[in-house]
Each structure stands twice: as structure tokens, then as C-alpha cells.
Amino acid sequence: MEIRASGDQLGPVIVSLLLAAVLAVVPVPEWATGVRPAWVPLVLIYWVIAMPHRIGVMTGWSVGLLLDALTGAVLGQNALGLALIAYIAYVLHLRIRVFPVWQQCLAILVLVGFYQLVSIMVMRAVQITPWTFWYWASVLVSALAWPLVTLGLGYLRGRRVF
């Protein structure tokens, strides 16, 4: 008989990723669109760092396809971006885990910025889309939201830290 730790269950992972996908498509006022945190990448990065043996690139790809369907984006746009940041987070998970929170926020800034860059490159390859500074504002807001995400998901997981 196999005994698993309570933090190794996939239920909280699935629930939190679905909740993040819902938060990504919930309508917000026009002024708040640019400062909405990138919920799905944040939650995915958390789970890849916390459970790298269970959550990885295929999870990122699958959640990205779900997000593509929910948002009406080019099929594969979010899947590609989330798979890439899941891979990078997997490769760096041992380093990111030991960083203090402020350095984790900087790592999240880079990861979410890379996700946004991949996303804009795919959009620009398919159609001409104007973008402004506000497109990058969500990257900064996501980095600032990271401590709250780690606290919330750590509580959901049953642990205070990774």
C-alpha cells in the first residue's frame, strides 16, 4: 500500500489551475484590463516549482490549450508560452525555491515577461496587433502578486512554503 503526503495530491492543482483560467477570462473594466495579473502562468509556475515530479511541460501545454479555447486566442499561443515557462521553471526550480521572496518576484517577472513576449510574437505573426506599455504592466503586477499567490496556494496545499 502506497502512502502519499497530503501535499502531493493533484486535486488542489487542478482546482487552482481551473480557478486561474476562470480569473483570466472574467470580465473586468476597461481600465483594469492592462493590470490584470497573469493568473494562469503564476499558478502554473507555483505548481511546477512545488511539485516538479508531477507538474511540468505537458501540464503547461494542456492548460495553455484550455486557455486558448477560453480566450479565443490563436490555438497554441498560450500552450506554447505556458509549456516554455513550465520547462524553464522546471529547470530552475531548485534555485527558485531557495530564493528569498523578493528574488522570487524578480524570477517571476522574467518568467511572466517571457510568457508575454512569446504571446505577443505569436499574435504579431498571425495578425498586426497594436500593443502599448500597458501590455507589459501585467508582468509587473504579476510579479507583485507572487507573494500572495504562494501564500494562497501554500495554504491550499497544506504547507506554508514550497
How much is the pLDDT for 8? 64
Give the CA diameter of the chain.
Answer: 57
How much is the pLDDT for 159? 65
How much is the pLDDT for 143? 97
How much is the pLDDT for 158? 80
Which parts of the chain have pLDDT scores under 70? 1-8, 159-162
How much is the pLDDT for 18? 96
How much is the pLDDT for 133? 79
Conformational region of residue 117, where left means phi above 0, alpha means psi within -120 to 50, and beta covers everything else: alpha
Q: Is 76 helix (H, G, I), strand (E, B) or coil?
A: coil
Phi, psi of 72 (to 5 degrees): 75, 25
Q: How far is the CA of 144 from the CAs of 42, 53, 133, 141, 152, in angstroms?
A: 11, 27, 17, 5, 14
How much is the pLDDT for 112? 97
How much is the pLDDT for 1? 32
What separation, in Å, do the N-terminal and C-terminal C-alpha atoms of the chain show?
26
pTM for the model? 0.90
pLDDT tens digits, 145-156? 999 999 999 998
How much is the pLDDT for 67? 96
